[in-house]
């Protein structure tokens, strides 16, 4: 009997169900022995507290196009994973106990950056673990692409698309705040696809004077509006000089809910122009996965299943140079894949006249 546990961890995104379906279908159709799948509810919490259900073929029927996750998910921060819960429970020991009690042959984890730290920890503790790269942020080390990213790019792009007509009609500056956590992959791609005039990324601290210069230049050229795509983690050159502690203190004492609103206030004071902020927010993580993500997540699931059938554990299935690869969890955990300010895509965008505020 081949017993496989599966969980989804961290923020949800599109194609989680497609990826799990890929694992299930590949294993059940190719295993030479009977298979049982155990789905842990709400991420690592299900593994810690033994909350699971047996998954059957019916669970994976008609879910290829469904967003979210049929197992539910939650965040279990890695920095507290070694700390006992409110009742004194050792969370790592509890996860291992659940794993061995169910006599699992392996655990399949679908998650992002923080979730992979815990997956690597469990692997180091002796559990057989295989993971799949999930996040709309596309910030996982060891893979060129994560599933959920392309779907989020499409949603963020549509948000920017819809802003064009109202921005033009009223002659306003519009700022669209795009998700992406600490990296700029999502706002970079959505900004380019949506024709943003200015794109502000965490990796390229911006100068407010440069941002204002672009707006005023467009005014002189007869353009009625300016659209700015701003990463939720964007930072000014002044703030980038602060220590992490100083910057956190500034944010805690700020009257603005995010850097986007602070930027809007600065632009208004510098130019007198009407500025409006649009925040698509969690809409970017919702809805059905686009065709690319359905195919990509299915392929990742099939590759993860192949590793399981071969008994190869301790890997994340990644995508490098248009090929599926297996990446040791120890190389993935704790590393962030950021946008290189000197990357070709940045240089190409600048050639087309896009400003990054630098």
pLDDT at 252 over 90: no
Burial class (CB in 10 A: 0-12, 13-18, 19+), 126: exposed
Average pLDDT rounded to a whole number, residues 247-272: 91
The pLDDT tens digits for 291-317 are 999 999 999 999 999 999 999 999 999
* Architecture of the domain made up of 2-148+289-332: 3-Layer(aba) Sandwich (3.40)
Residue 167 pLDDT: 87
Distance between CA atoms of 295 and 98, rounded to whole angstroms? 32
What is the percent of the chain where pLDDT is above 90? 91
Average pLDDT rounded to a whole number, residues 89-112: 97
Q: Where are the domains of the chain?
A: 2-148+289-332, 150-285
Q: Which two tokens stand for residue 279?
A: 């925040």
* Architecture of the domain made up of 150-285: 3-Layer(aba) Sandwich (3.40)
Lowest mean pLDDT segment, chosen from 104-113, 188-197, 254-263: 254-263
249: which residues sit within 8 A by CB, 6+ positions away? none
The pLDDT tens digits for 268-281 are 999 998 899 999 99
Catalytic residues: 137
Per-residue confidence band for 168, with pLDDT thresholds at 50, 70 and 90: confident
Distance between CA atoms of 321 and 314, rounded to whole angstroms? 22
Q: Are the folds of 2-148+289-332 and 150-285 the same?
A: yes
pLDDT at 169 over 90: no
Buried/exposed 6-39: b ≥16 CB within 10 Å, e otherwise:
bbbbbbbbbbbbbbbbbbbbbbbeeeeeebbbbb
User: Which candidate, 133, 142, 72, 137, places its Cα nearest to that of 297?
Assistant: 133
The pLDDT tens digits for 53-96 are 999 999 999 999 999 999 999 999 999 999 999 999 999 999 99
The gap from C-alpha 191 to its chain's centroid, in whole angstroms, comes to 17
pTM of the model: 0.94
What is the percent of the chain where pLDDT is above 70? 100
């Amino acid at each position: 009997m081949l017993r496989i546990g599966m969980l989804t961890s961290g923020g949800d995104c599109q194609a989680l169900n497609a990826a799990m379906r890929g694992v299930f279908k590949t294993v059940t159709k190719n295993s030479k022995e009977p298979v049982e799948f155990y789905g842990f509810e709400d991420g690592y919490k299900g593994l810690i507290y033994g909350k699971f259900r047996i998954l059957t073929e019916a669970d994976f029927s008609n879910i290829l196009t469904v967003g979210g996750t049929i197992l539910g998910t939650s965040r279990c921060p890695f920095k507290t994973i070694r700390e006992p819960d409110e009742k004194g429970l050792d969370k790592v020991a509890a996860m291992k106990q659940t794993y061995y009690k169910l006599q699992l042959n392996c655990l399949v984890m679908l998650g992002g950056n923080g979730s992979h730290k815990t997956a690597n920890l469990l692997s180091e503790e002796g559990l057989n673990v295989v993971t799949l790269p999930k996040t709309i942020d596309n910030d996982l080390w060891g893979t060129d692409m994560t599933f959920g990213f392309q779907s989020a790019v499409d949603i963020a792009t549509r948000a920017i698309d819809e802003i064009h007509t109202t921005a033009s009609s009223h002659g306003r500056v519009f700022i669209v705040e795009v998700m992406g956590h600490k990296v700029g992959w999502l706002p970079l791609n959505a900004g380019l696809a949506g024709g943003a005039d200015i794109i502000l990324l965490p990796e390229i601290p911006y100068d407010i004077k440069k941002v204002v210069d672009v707006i005023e230049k467009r005014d002189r050229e007869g353009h009625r509006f300016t659209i700015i795509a701003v990463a939720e983690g964007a930072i000014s050159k002044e703030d980038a000089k602060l220590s992490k502690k100083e910057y956190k203190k500034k944010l805690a004492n700020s009257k603005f809910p995010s850097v986007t609103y602070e930027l809007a206030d600065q632009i208004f004071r510098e130019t007198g122009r009407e500025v409006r902020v649009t925040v698509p927010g969690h809409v970017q993580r919702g809805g059905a996965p686009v065709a690319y993500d359905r195919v990509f997540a299915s392929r990742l699931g099939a590759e993860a299943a192949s590793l399981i059938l071969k008994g190869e554990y301790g890997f994340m299935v990644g995508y490098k140079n248009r090929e599926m690869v297996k990446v040791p969890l120890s190389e993935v955990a704790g590393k962030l894949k950021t946008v290189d300010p000197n990357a070709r895509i940045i240089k190409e965008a600048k050639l087309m006249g896009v400003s990054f505020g630098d």
